[in-house]
Structure 1
Amino acid sequence: MKTLRVLVLVAAGLAGLAHAQTEPAPSGRAPSDRIPLAVDLQERIEQVTVTVKDRWGREQTKAIPVTVYRPPGEGPFPLVVFNHGRAVDRSTQGRSRPEHLARYLVHKGLVVMAPTRLGYGDTYGKFDPEDSGPCERKDHAPAAQAAADQVLATVAFARQRLPFVDAGHWVVMGASMGANTTLATVRLKPEGLLGGVNFGAGSGANPALRPGQPCSPDRFAQQWYGPAITPQVPTLWLYWQNDLYNGAEWPQRWQQAWVQGGGQAEFHALSAVGSDGHGGVFIDMNRWVPLMEAFLARLGVGSAYAPLRYRPVAATDTGKPDLLPANEALRQAYSDRFLTAALPRAFAVGDQGAFGVFSGDWAEGRALGLCQRSGQSCRLYAVNHDVVEQLP
C-alpha cells in the first residue's frame, strides 16, 4: 500500500543538556517552560489566533502558543498536533510540550504541533471555554466544540503559514480532555481528516475522593449518541484498567455509544500501569506504540518505526570509564545517576559531552532523546546491566 503524507494531530525529564537554545520564561510559568528547546527536533513556538465560545455563548479571540517539532529536511511532512489534558490549576499549566511522543512521531517522518488551548497558562483568566459545569450535571458539548475549534485553527495555520507541512491529510489525537477534543473533531469530519486517537477521553472526576467514578458519565455517552456527519473516520481508543478518572467500565460504554452514533472505534483496555493509568500515554509507551503503529499503518500514515538496536559489550558494574569521553561531569552522572537507577534504565552520551539518563518506560529512546536535545550526535552507552554498542 502506498504511504500517504499525513498531517497528524495528537493529544507532556530532561538531563545532560549542553549548548541548547532557551525560551524566555516569565515569572510563575511552569518549570517545563524553562527547559531548553529541543534543538534536534527544531522545536519552535508559533502564535495561532483562535476564536472560541463558552457554554453561555460568550466569545473571545486570542493568540495561543503552539509548539512545533519537525524532522530534518524541507518536507512537506505530515503534522502531529497533540491536544493536552486539563490540569487542576490551569494558571500554572505550561506550554504543551509532549516531547517523548513527538520524538516517536518525528522519527516516523511527521511534524508535531501541540497547541496550548485558550484558558491555560499565559491565556488563563476568568474566561474558561472548557468549563462544563458541576460534576452532577456536566454539559460536555460546548467545551469539546471550543477545543475542536482550536484544532481546526491550528490546521488552518499550518496550511497557510508552514510550507514544510502537508496539511492535506491529517489525524487528530489527544489525552484526557485532549482526547475529548479528538472525538469532537472527528465528528466534525473536517477536510483531509483520516482518523483519530483517544488516550483516555472522559467526563471529569475527583480521583482522590471518588476514584474510578467519572462525573455525569451518562451525559458524556449521550454526547456521542446524537446525529453525526457520516461516514466518520476510524478512531483508536486506548484506556488503562487503573484509570482513576474514568474507571474500567465506563470507557467501554462510551465506545458503544460512539459506534451507535455512527462512529468507528477500535477499543483497547490495557492492564494497569503506575499508580494511575489515566497518564498511560506518558508512562506506557512500551505497550501503546505497537497499537499505534498498526493503526497508523492502516491509515497509511508515516514510515514504520525502527526500534533502537544494540549489543552488550561489557557489564556495567565494571564501569568501563575508559570507554566514556574524558568528561568529569559525564562520568559523575554515569556513576551517581545511572548506576543507582532502577531498571529498566539507559544512559546515552554525545560527541561533545552531552548525556541523557532515563529510568522507566521507553528508557533507551528517552535517554537518547534527552542527549540529542542539544543537537549533538549521541549514542547509547549502557542499558540495564550492560555497556552496549549501538548498531546501525
Structure 2
Amino acid sequence: MKAIWTSASTLARLAAVLLLGLWGAGAGAQAQAPDEAAVLRDLREQTQFISVTVTDLYGKQQTRQIPVMIFRPAGDGPFPLVIMNHGRATAEKRSAQGRQRYEWLSRYLVGKGFAVLLPTRVGYADTYGDFDPEDTGSCQSRRPGPMAVAVADQVMATLAFAKTLPYVDTSRWLVMGQSAGGLTAVATVSRHPPGLVGAINFSGGSGGDPDGRPRNPCSPQQIESLWKEQARSATAPMLWLYWENDLYWGPDVPRRWHEAWTAGGGKAEFHTLAAAGQNGHGAVNFDMDHWVPYAEAFLAKLGFETPGVIARPPASSFAAVDEVDKVPVHAATREGHYRKFLASKLPRAYAIGPKGAAGTASGDWAIGRALGFCQRKGEPCKLYAVDNDVVWTP
C-alpha cells in the first residue's frame, strides 16, 4: 500500500483554550478532539496527514487523506512505537465525533518511552461523509470481515509512515485500540506484520448500541466467527481488558469472543474489571488506576520495563497543605486555583511549574492528570501537594 504524507499545522488552536492547563477536567473526562485542547507541547504533539486506500462492504474503493496525531518523549529516539486506534460512536453521534486524542493513555505511554501514533480513520472527523468503510450491514446479518480489512489497512499505512520517521523504532511496536479500535488491534495482530511484539484491546468489538440495545450487541456471533478465523494467523500476544458495566457488550459477550480467539489459536490474556462510571465501555479514559497495573505487567513481559506509574513523593516540611499563602504561584492562582484543589475530594494532586503554570486533578489517575494539565504548554512541572500532604521542595 502506498502512503503519502504532508505536514498540517496545529498551532492555531492554542489561543482558544489558554486556560486548560489551569484546571483539570473530572475523572470521567473522555478523549478530546484536537480542537478542544491546546497542542500538548510537552508531548511534542504534531499532526500529519497520510494517504490511505480502503474498500467498503459493497466493494467501493476510495483513497483519502487521514490525520495522524503524534506524541513522543523528549530526545532523538529512536523510540519503540504504539499505534493507538479509536472507537466508533453510534450512528446519530458519529458526525460530531472528532479526532480522538486519548491524552491520558498517550501520556502514560510516552512516559514509558513510546512514540504514539493515533490515526483518525476514514469515515470520521476530517473524512466524515458519504463513504463509510466500517459499515457492516444490518443488525441481524452483519458482515464485519470487510470492516476488519479496512481498519487494519489503515494501521499498516500508519506503520509505513512511521518507518519514515527517524525517531521511531518500528522493529519493536505495539498496536492498541478501544472499542472498534480494539477490533482494529485484533485485525492487525491477525496479519502478523514485521516488528509487532504485542497488542492491547480495550473494550474491543463491533455492533454495540448503549442506548437502543444496552448490553445486547448486534450479531455478536459474527465477531466470534471472525476472531476464531483470524486467530489462526495470529502470533503476537495480546492483553484484553473489558469492564463489567460495559453498556455496548455487557459482561458475557466479551468472554465468548475471547474463547473464540483462543480456540482459533490466538494468545490473549483476558480480564474483566469492576464496574467504572456509568458505562465502563470508555473506562480506558477514566479508570487508569485499575487498568494500568495490568498493562504494566503485560508490557514488562515484552521487555518494556520503564515504569509508567508516577511515584508519589514523600511529604515535605515546606508547608501545611492548607497554608495557601505558601504556595509558590501567583496570588490569583493561589486564591482561585489552589483553593479549588483544597475543596476537592481525595485522591487529589496539585502541580506547579517554575513560570507560573499549575494543574490539579482529583479522582482517577490524579497525580498523572495534575502533572499533565500543568505541563500541557511545555513548562516542566513538579507535584506540590498530594491528598493532604505538601510534597514540594524548593
| TM-score normalised per structure 1 | 0.88
The residue number in structure 2 matching 1:21 is: none
The offset of 1:302, in angstroms, is 5.5
The offset of 1:312, in angstroms, is 2.7
Q: How does 1:1-392 map to 2 (within 5 A)?
A: 16-17=20-21, 32-88=34-90, 89-160=93-164, 162-226=165-229, 228-230=231-233, 232-301=235-304, 303-305=306-308, 307-313=310-316, 314-316=319-321, 318-335=322-339, 337-389=340-392
Q: Distance in 2 between matches of 1:234 and 1:113?
A: 20
Contact map agreement 2:231 2:261 (CA 8 A) in 1: no
Change (3 A) 1:227 1:371: closer
The offset of 1:315, in angstroms, is 4.4
**SS of match in other structure, 2:77:** coil
The offset of 1:79, in angstroms, is 1.4
**SS of match in other structure, 2:163:** helix
Q: Distance in 2 between matches of 1:132 and 1:390?
A: 57
The offset of 1:83, in angstroms, is 0.2
Amino acid in the other structure paired with 1:107: G
Q: Distance in 1 between matches of 2:167 and 2:369?
A: 26
The offset of 1:349, in angstroms, is 1.1
Write out per-residue CA displacement over residues 239-295 of structure 1, whole angstroms, 9 at most, x where no aligned residue.
111111111111111001001112011000111111111111111111111111111
Contact map agreement 1:77 1:109 (CA 8 A) in 2: yes
The offset of 1:17, in angstroms, is 3.2
Q: Distance in 2 between matches of 1:259 and 1:170?
A: 22
The offset of 1:229, in angstroms, is 4.9
Contact map agreement 1:79 1:111 (CA 8 A) in 2: yes
The count of corresponding residues between Structure 1 and Structure 2 is 365
Contact map agreement 1:380 1:390 (CA 8 A) in 2: no
Change (3 A) 1:274 1:347: same
The offset of 1:231, in angstroms, is 5.4
Contact map agreement 2:231 2:262 (CA 8 A) in 1: no
Q: Distance in 2 between matches of 1:339 and 1:157?
A: 46
- Cα RMSD of the aligned pairs, angstroms, is 2.0
Q: Distance in 2 between matches of 1:104 and 1:165?
A: 17
Write out per-residue CA displacement over residues 128-156 of structure 1, whole angstroms, 9 at most, x where no aligned residue.
00111222221111112111110000000
Amino acid in the other structure paired with 2:42: D
Amino acid in the other structure paired with 2:151: A
Contact map agreement 1:16 1:354 (CA 8 A) in 2: no
Structure 1, gaps ≥5 residues long: 1-12, 19-29
Q: Distance in 2 between matches of 1:90 and 1:276?
A: 18
Contact map agreement 1:347 1:355 (CA 8 A) in 2: yes
The offset of 1:170, in angstroms, is 1.2
Structure 1 moving runs of 4+ over 4 Å: 13-16
Contact map agreement 2:80 2:115 (CA 8 A) in 1: yes
